[in-house]
Amino acid sequence: MMEQALRDAGFTGIETVNGVIYARSNPALPEFTATPTVDGWQLALAWPVRATDAQIAAWTALHPAAPMDVYQGETRITLMATAESLPLWAELAEAMVAQCVAWRRDTRQRDEGM
């Protein structure tokens, strides 16, 4: 059911492994997961940068439905999925990746490589 909802909403690369769905909102963005919980499906996207407490608070204040945290050393957002929230998730995933890239660039020195 969730797999089909993701397809219908235009997500790509959809596959299920051990009950967890992996998908992309855009082929250029990283995979996110859709994990079944007692309350429904939790969507989660992680990025390999560690946001500060202030950055996490600022993101979460702007996006309370998709709070940010640090999980297993990476910055992550989560959202409880509904068919209606899937277009919002695609927007949030893109915004989160852009924000994390900007934060990472802000920490690099001018002559530091990628």
Per-residue pLDDT tens for 62-85?
A: 999 999 999 999 999 999 998 789
What's the confidence (pLDDT) of residue 84? 84
pLDDT in tens, 14-68: 999 999 999 999 888 999 999 999 999 999 999 999 999 999 999 999 999 999 9
2 contact partners, CB below 8 Å, separation of at least 6: 21, 34, 36, 41, 81
How confident is the prediction for the chain on average, in pLDDT? 91
What's the confidence (pLDDT) of residue 105? 83
- Calculate mean pLDDT across residues 98-113: 76
Distance of alpha carbon 65 from alpha carbon 36, whole angstroms = 18
Distance of alpha carbon 93 from alpha carbon 76, whole angstroms = 10
What's the confidence (pLDDT) of residue 104? 84
Q: Is the torsion defined by CA of 93, 63, 65, 69 positive or negative?
A: positive
What's the confidence (pLDDT) of residue 38? 95
Q: What stretch of H or E contains 43?
A: strand 40-47
* CATH number given to 2-105: 3.30.1460.10
What's the predicted TM-score (pTM) here?
0.89
3-class DSSP assignment, residue 101: helix
